Chain A
């Protein structure tokens, strides 16, 4: 299979899988098998493109012309390759996890759940492989719409309210600001193709550049810059597999990825560095980074704390991109992968705790490490990766980002990154400490089990999934070089 057809296959596979899921909905075992096979096939297809991209080729396929001069085009470049690999690879693990979680909690409407999940993955891959801003926008919107039924899965008043916030912010910002910025870019530059070195240099004056950057950065609601971050905590009403894959990886990373992509391929790193148009963005990102960390500390609900942690970590990436130095951009790209692996593990653990012990609040977790040692062990590993302690993946991207900040003479942001690491330690370590060091509360169900010395873990598929990603977080420490090498060309010289 050539790389060009592989792109189309990668987009079509989850959709076909989704249809099969609908058809096999009455036989749960077959349906889950379809999901797993689809995820595996998708990952293999995406992986098959990797050597081509590593070799320096940029496989490209144009589907059709949507507007005169504007095509629906897919073109794989290193950043998209990385995002595609992350999303499709983690989908396999997440599917295994979903089976354990959805059955363990007797969730309803599982066919609908798996179907929209597949559609969301297809659009996430579409975002990753987009060859121009229009294609990306289309996939971005499909991603929003296809995740709405997942967020509101329970259909109660609470999910209705959260669904409103979710749709309101994501659709509002993308139609109100991103679309605006995109048409404006088209008007100014006459193209929307992602081009090495950007398309705006020499065409947009300083005012327009700043205005466009504003429209893009706040238009990409999925990157959750403050003050448009509210949708992410709201989305936590969804079943945990959704929070894990979509709201720690696919959806939010689609946002952060789009930010990096726009800065690198629409504005151009050099152009932005020359104009200094990103100064304000650095401040906003740094503020989001710190404020979200502080808010996370005050959240007792485990998923809410993780959500605010995600907001904070997304701003790492946005800040990295805003620094507009080569090193920082590579660091931002690496952080996409590192944070994905760490955060998905944390969510898996949160879901496992809920499935096994029906606990959602951190204050209830005293001593849970005794009944769920594997889960909490994985939680500890992933936490350390998020904090950025070697030998875990998160340390490399943080190091790279700090290096990038220093390179750009933005010493203050080196401190911001450092301070944020401390803050993330402050909101994650207490959970681990509570789980392992504090005695269980006498009257809780877990306590009874602990007295009997029994282990009460989540269903096996959940455990397999969270262990895999925890090991992945360690493995990434050793493969960080490979990611950096993959990403190296994006800030390189303009080769066309």
Chain B
């Protein structure tokens, strides 16, 4: 009975729970407990949905029993189920970690707001992925965006405020661009349902209206996903947001935006857009530039959070590159990296959260001697870094493998070389942090540092071990990503 309503529960449970958080103004621990229960419930729903989709194929859910295309349809296929699992999985682990980190970074009387906004953001992100309606998607996009502006503004430094404001301006422009694109599509087809759009668009895709629509959609979504060169909001937002928020957003928000791009390009336009407009080539070039330029920029950062933020923009380049190849292997690589990058960045940012908790700084130079003082935290950082570099036995290796394979399938060996050069840049920026933490002694006058509390170590290590587990047993990730890619390309089952 309930299993039939899982698609809506996936979104509604955190959405309804969010305002409940406001009740716990004076008892932030209860707010945390509520959020924790809801997040794990959401994860359980995601797992159940993925299981349903894997066995029974795509699920269509009619909201309020209004048949599509008149009513809003929630549609979960293999790709959305996979992304749901990423978002809710990272969300559940991050919130387990959050209590102590949030206590240290957010004033006590605002903590309940954090949990409320967190649940809203979670609901928004999950909604984007479940909905099968292009305009409903916009609404969820704004729910998640508005709540993430607030989450970022909760950062301890005043620069968090300006970072949030600048993100708000650019994010709103992005969302508005998306609405324009949807409006143009509606104008030509008279529908907002994604499946319906997919059926009607091929006839009109060559018209000038559609070309404009594609342009607006691409730029709008690009702003949201941190596409180079419209990523300018991202480094500051990630740097000054509370550690938990950074970990959560880095692992989920950009991933969901990539999902929207995939959805638009491959489900709505079914790849037909590449003939009239060379968006694939444009994205290809931007992806490569992001990989190289942003990795290079990351090397010169003095703040470890900002360093990882630039690395994120570079890693998004990998996903965009995979998507822009328009082959099954390329898409597999893109979708796979979506999952894998969420795991590595969440682990890395959580490690920085532990560091911040203890030394009140995320500057690379301040991390001297932490290898000895916080062995578990820094070991987690090193392993997460290995994954980012693409060392075998980590998920990063699997991503890289498929990306290189996709390049070689096209006989573009130079592209494979570029991918590898960019991973070598990752070696440099990760190693900068490692050398400071392990080889530089902690200054004598600095206060003593102890290891982070167990409640933070456990979720962080769960993510680190996931990085290793999914780097060895790739059945679930590669299998699902490959099926999603085939589904998007319209080949196979």
Contact = CB atoms under 8 A, between A and B. Distances in A.
B423 interface: yes
Contact of B474 (A67, A141, A152, A179): A67
B416 interface: yes
A445 interface: no
Contacts of A72: 472
Interface stretch (A165-173, A240-248, A256-264): A165-173
A183 B478 contact: no
Contact of A171 (B401, B413, B427, B482): B427
B425 to A, nearest CB: 11
Contact of B431 (A68, A134, A142, A164): A164
Q: Is the interface of A mostly helix, strand, loop or mixed?
A: helix
A155 interface: yes
Contact of B391 (A141, A163, A168): A141
Contact of B401 (A142, A183, A211): A183
A193 B420 CA distance: 23
B389 interface: yes
Interface string A172-186: 100111011001101
Interface string B382-394: 0000100111110
B445 interface: no
Contact of B473 (A64, A68, A160): A64
Contacts of B474: 65-67
Nearest to A173: B424
B400 interface: yes
Contacts of B49: none
Contacts of A141: 391-393
Given A138-B393, A184-B408, A179 B420 contact: yes
B472 A187 contact: no
A179 B439 CA distance: 29
Nearest to B372: A155
A490 B390 CA distance: 33
Interface in A33-92: 64-68, 72
A176 B424 contact: yes
A187 B405 contact: yes
Nearest to B471: A66
Contacts, number: 78
A145 interface: yes
A177 B420 CA distance: 8
Contacts of B438: 155
A427 interface: no
B424 A180 contact: no
A218 interface: no
Interface residues of B, number: 32
B22 to A, nearest CB: 48
Interface string B328-364: 0000000000000000000000000000000000000
B427 A172 contact: yes
Nearest to B417: A180
B386, B390, B401, B417 — most chain A CB neighbours (10 Å): B401
B393 A176 contact: no
Contacts of B420: 175-177, 179-180
Given A137-B392, A180-B416, A155 B439 contact: yes
A168 B432 CA distance: 12
A186 B405 contact: yes
A152 B439 contact: yes
B157 interface: no
A176 B421 contact: yes
Interface string A131-162: 00010011001100100000010010000100
Contacts of A172: 424, 427
A175 B408 contact: no
Interface string B439-469: 1000000000000000000000000000000
A176 B398 CA distance: 15
Given A175-B389, A179-B420, A183-B416, A167 B427 contact: yes
Contacts of B408: 183-184, 187
A175 B390 contact: yes
A152, A164, A184 — most chain B CB neighbours (10 Å): A184
B147 to A, nearest CB: 38
Band of interface residues on A: 20 to 34
Given A64-B472, A65-B475, A175-B389, A168 B416 contact: no
A142, A155, A167, A187 — most chain B CB neighbours (10 Å): A187
B398 A67 contact: yes
B281 interface: no
A187 to B, nearest CB: 4
Given A66-B472, A138-B393, A179 B400 contact: yes
A137 B435 CA distance: 25
Given A145-B386, A175-B424, A67 B404 contact: no
A68 B478 contact: yes
Contacts of A138: 392-393
B409 interface: yes
A74 B424 CA distance: 29
A180 B427 contact: no
Nearest to A185: B408
B320 to A, nearest CB: 20
A187 B400 CA distance: 14
Contacts of B409: 187
A105 to B, nearest CB: 21
Contacts of B424: 171-172, 175-176
Contact of A67 (B386, B413, B478): B478
A179 B408 CA distance: 12
Given A66-B474, A67-B478, A184 B392 contact: no
A66, A68, A137 — most chain B CB neighbours (10 Å): A66
A152 B440 CA distance: 13
Contacts of A164: 431, 435
A66 B469 CA distance: 10
Contact of A142 (B393, B400, B482): B393
Interface in A288-310: none
A155 B434 CA distance: 12
B423 A175 contact: yes
B435 A160 contact: yes
A175 B400 CA distance: 10
Nearest to B441: A155
B427 A179 contact: no
A171 B482 CA distance: 29
Contacts of A180: 404, 416-417, 420
Contacts of B386: 145
A163 B431 CA distance: 11
A73 to B, nearest CB: 14
29 contacts: A64-B472, A68-B478, A68-B479, A68-B482, A72-B472, A137-B392, A141-B391, A141-B393, A142-B392, A142-B393, A145-B391, A160-B439, A163-B435, A164-B435, A167-B427, A171-B389, A171-B424, A175-B423, A175-B424, A176-B420, A176-B421, A179-B390, A179-B400, A179-B404, A180-B404, A180-B417, A183-B405, A183-B408, A187-B405
Q: Which 3 A-B pairs have the closest CB atoms?
A: A138-B392, A183-B404, A187-B408
Given A67-B401, A172-B424, 18 more contacts: A66-B472, A68-B482, A137-B392, A141-B391, A152-B439, A155-B438, A160-B439, A168-B427, A175-B423, A175-B427, A176-B423, A176-B424, A180-B404, A180-B417, A180-B420, A183-B408, A186-B405, A211-B413
Interface of B: 386, 389-393, 398, 400-401, 404-405, 408-409, 413, 416-417, 420-421, 423-424, 427, 431, 435, 438-439, 472-475, 478-479, 482
